[in-house]
Amino acid sequence: MTDSPNDVTPDRLSKADALPPSDQHAQQYAAVRNAHETELIEDYVELIADLQEHQGEARSTDIAARMGVSQATVSKMVTRLKALELVSSKPYRSLFLTEKGERMAAMSHQRHAIVLQFLRALGVSDRTARIDAEGMEHHVSQETLDVMQRFARAQERRSS
């Protein structure tokens, strides 16, 4: 592959891009830490909503299988989700989202759909777009989501 003037490499970034002012840099890292903190919680809540919608119930065994984790890991997370008042359950029964959990799941679904639509509009394969969207949805601002959505819709209109 040959270099073109448009290739973005670290040596082509401006000094300001490579090392922004310290307050901005701190804000960037704080946003990432916050996203990491809520990422797993949102993934579980989103999956519980999906299981309820498509299978009629969300069982810990199904969550473990779909997340690729052990039942013990799911049990620990369910305890955390209950403490955050996002889910409820009864012994030996399915999990149920609370109103707060349903709101989080809806927001997470919307973010996921926008990122997935954007990646597909860029020409990313469906398989890769699904994998990438799963992580990216937690790390983009509302401003970026809005731009992604406008871009994807414009691309969709062009191809119709």
What pLDDT is recorded for position 98? Answer: 97
Distance CA 102, CA 157 (A): 31
Strands 87-89 and 95-97: antiparallel
More confident residue, 26 or 48: 48
Distance CA 26, CA 32 (A): 10
Distance CA 48, CA 41 (A): 11
Is the pLDDT at 103 greater than 90? The verdict is yes
With a CB cutoff of 8 Å and minimum separation 6, the contacts of 133 are 112, 115, 116, 119
How many helices (H) and strands (E) are present in the chain, helices listed first? 7, 2
What pLDDT is recorded for position 1? Answer: 45
Is the pLDDT at 142 greater than 70? The verdict is yes
- Report pTM: 0.75
Mean pLDDT of 109-127: 95
More confident residue, 160 or 80: 80
DSSP state at residue 12: G
Mean pLDDT of 5-33: 67
Per-residue pLDDT band for 3 (boundaries 50, 70, 90) equals: low
Question: Which range among 21-25, 52-56, 71-75, 131-135 shows the weakest confidence by mean pLDDT?
Answer: 21-25
What pLDDT is recorded for position 35? Answer: 64
Two tokens, residue 158: 């062009």
What pLDDT is recorded for position 21? Answer: 76
What pLDDT is recorded for position 44? Answer: 95
Alpha helices by DSSP H, listed for 87-125, are 99-122
Beta carbons within 10 angstroms of residue 159's beta carbon: 7
